[in-house]
Amino acid sequence: MRHETMQNSDPSTPSTPRLDAAKADMMAKTARCQAMTEDREALLFSGMRANLLMPHPIYIASGDGAHITDIDGNEYIDTVMGFGACVLGHRHPDVARAIQRVSGAGWHFGIHSHEQMPLAEMLHEAIPCAERILFCNTGSEATAYAMRAARTFAGKEKVGIFDGYWHGMHDYCMVTPARDGTNTRPKGQDISAGVPKAIHDLTVPLAYRNRVSLDIIREKKDELAVVLIEPVQHSNPQPDVVDFLREVQDVCRECGVLFLLDEMVTGFRIAYGGGQERFGLTPDLATLGKACGGGLPIGVVAGREDIMRTFVGDDGTTPPVFAGGTFTGNPMSMAAGAASVAYMRDHREIYGHMEEQGNRLTAAFNSHCTQHNMPLHMSNVGSMFHIYFQGNPVYSSFDIDEQPLAAAKQAFCLHALNLGVLISGGDKYYLSAAHTAEHVDRMIDIFTETLSLVREDGLL
């Protein structure tokens, strides 16, 4: 999940009666949030973005099920859900009991604890490619380790990444494919300062859902160690991706390039076995996290045994791939993860429920926009959804151009928050197993009311 520097109100945004009233309501309701912002700005770079037409973000005091409550006591239906981690909702009782149990015995030892094996065994059974497993602390660590193992095993250095991705914050993920005019072959574009040029040169930019990428993989096969792709992009959740995913898997196998599925978001969310189960894929490597940590920090690398053995370096010719950290496999994350995965394993019906509610929300939103001739639409894959502030269809990230409706988007987020639904500035939205049909009904009502308010102010 990309975090961005907090942004304040845009002075170029028009002042409109309904927008001004919503902003005044929110400012009156969030006095403590405003005071905290003033205190934090003197000390912290929080890395989080305030997406609202307000001079401050809101700060969360607690969560329960599908709801969160800010420090001023305002309750919202949550669509952030820990950036996708909270598949079971906030403070699920099974996870809470596991955390309480471990906290009574000690929550950090550095060396191994007996809490690791139950989760490892469940992941081994749930994830099709998981012959061996490595734990770490974050998604960024997981993708960094997986890339390192792939380069070691393949004896090649380049990494292929598709536009619209998010694979973490390390250097290899700070080069993004960017459209180069009308050319379908993207160029690499830096998205952070401080990244060595050598890293830029070792990244092969690929066009998402474009078969020219298959040609690029074939052309670069002697240099490419691994190609990374999300089964469903959380920045662009499109349901009809299976054919392209299988083509990428097949061409990687054909060319001797390792195929890595980044299931950080999709794992245990779009199916119990993630994208691998949903789309019938078996990658060489997979990275997971979020849901399988029960809301606590976790990263997982899973994959073929021969590749994973690079982490122990027992071939006698090369040093092992280094992987380690002070908090890796800590008892708290392991116990919370095991409780969460066990519940998902034993209650597979939650996936049908989340699928139904996600589809229902998307259908109602799109029907309203079509009926009222509004140039917006929603797309979802199960409980992952995204609102596009444009009428044109979106195939890949290259098709997204929301700048003409940027003011409408900000107004939508503010009105929704004021009416009781938290919409993230990161454009990545999630339901959970705790979102009932009644929650979704309320979201539909709030979204349609919000769209009317934005249109009545002339922003649509």
List, for residues 341-392, the tens digit of each pLDDT value: 999 999 999 999 999 999 999 999 999 999 999 999 999 999 999 999 998 8
Q: What share of the chain is helix, strand, coil (3-state, %, to 5)?
A: 40, 20, 40
* Percentage of the chain modeled with pLDDT above 70: 93
Position 358, amino acid: G
Nearest to 418 by CA among 13, 2, 24, 12: 24
Residue 66 falls inside a structural domain = no
Residue 426 falls inside a structural domain = no
Distances (CA, A) of 296 to 117, 131, 167, 408: 17, 24, 19, 35
Residue 326 falls inside a structural domain = yes
Residue 78 falls inside a structural domain = no
Residue 306 falls inside a structural domain = yes
The residues with which 387 forms a beta bridge, in sequence order, are: 378
- Answer yes or no: is pLDDT of 52 > 90: no
Tens digits of residue pLDDT in 104-155: 999 888 888 899 999 999 999 999 999 999 999 999 999 999 999 999 999 9
Residue 282 falls inside a structural domain = yes
| Residue 6, pLDDT score | 33
Name 141's Cβ contacts closer than 8 Å, sequence gap at least 6. Answer: 168, 299, 325
Q: What integer is the mean pLDDT of 146-175?
A: 94
72 HSE (CA, 13 A, CB side) = 18
Q: At which residue do the structure tokens 């098709």 appear?
A: 399
Say if residues 138 and 297 touch (Cβ distance below 8 Å): yes
Q: Containing domain of residue 328, as a range?
A: 99-346
Total domains in the chain come to 1
CATH code: domain of residue 275: 3.40.640.10
Position 304, amino acid: R
Beta sheet of 285-289, edge-to-edge order? 132-136, 299-303, 285-289, 258-262, 224-229, 158-162, 203-206
Residue 369 falls inside a structural domain = no
Confidence of residue 317 (pLDDT cuts 50, 70, 90): low
Residue 418 falls inside a structural domain = no
